[in-house]
Amino acid sequence: MPSDKTTIQAVHQALEDSKKLERKFKQTVDLVINLKNIDMTAAKNRLDEDIILPHGRGGKVKIAIFASGQLAENAKKHVDLLIKPEEIEELAKDKKGFKKIADNHDFFIAEAPLMPTIGKTLGVILGPRGKMPRPVPPQIDVSGIANNLQKTVKIRSKTSKTFHTTVGKEDMDEKHLAENIDAIIKRIEAKLERGRMNISSIYVKTTMGPSIRII
């Protein structure tokens, strides 16, 4: 586990280097992870983790829900898109349109009884993107789930030894960004067969800026 000082120094340098660049948008701060000595063709070695960042992502994520009845009504103010059961078949016919929906939303939630239908009709689009819905009971209050998702990032390596994730925005406190990074590294190390020994390097960077090595 890197020390706070090491991580904060890397974050500070990444942000300072970024200030030298002209841009007209708020940049994300990203983590690039490179693994080693691990067979990524074996499913057991692939990472697919949802991690709640201690200080959030620094921006809003977009959430969609498949729901009906009271759950749909209660969820409206907590999500960006409501998909009713009767709309699923139509979305399945318009694959190009649903691909845009899948790409424009970070997370999906679904009323548990709808999961088999979603899997058969839209799973081919959601599955490869790592966006299969989180099933929830029809009577649940989704506010807590939605609030946690606003602070969540997905780590998904697939078969590649190199992958990345966002850790926040450039206007966040450096210490908070460093603590978000350390939370991600700790989770990754816990999931790898040989922990730190399976990590070749980790870099932090802004959207437009150069990469600064942490490990």
Sorted by where each starts, the structural domains of the chain and their CATH numbers stand as 4-58+152-213 (3.30.190.20), 63-149 (3.40.50.790)
**What are the C-alpha distances in Å from 36 to residues 2, 27, 39, 49, 207?**
18, 29, 9, 19, 25
Res 56 pLDDT > 80: yes
pLDDT, residue 164, reads 95
Each residue's pLDDT tens digit, 182-206 = 999 999 999 999 999 999 999 999 9
Residue 1: pLDDT over 80 = no
Instruction: Find residue 35's DSSP bridge partners.
Output: 199
The pLDDT value recorded for residue 5 is 57
Question: Which has the higher per-residue pLDDT, 147 or 22?
Answer: 147
Alpha-helix residue ranges (DSSP H) falling in the chain? 4-19, 69-75, 85-93, 95-104, 115-121, 123-126, 143-149, 174-191
- Region 18-32: what's the mean pLDDT? 87
Q: Span 152-162, mean pLDDT?
A: 94
For residues 67-78, average pLDDT: 96
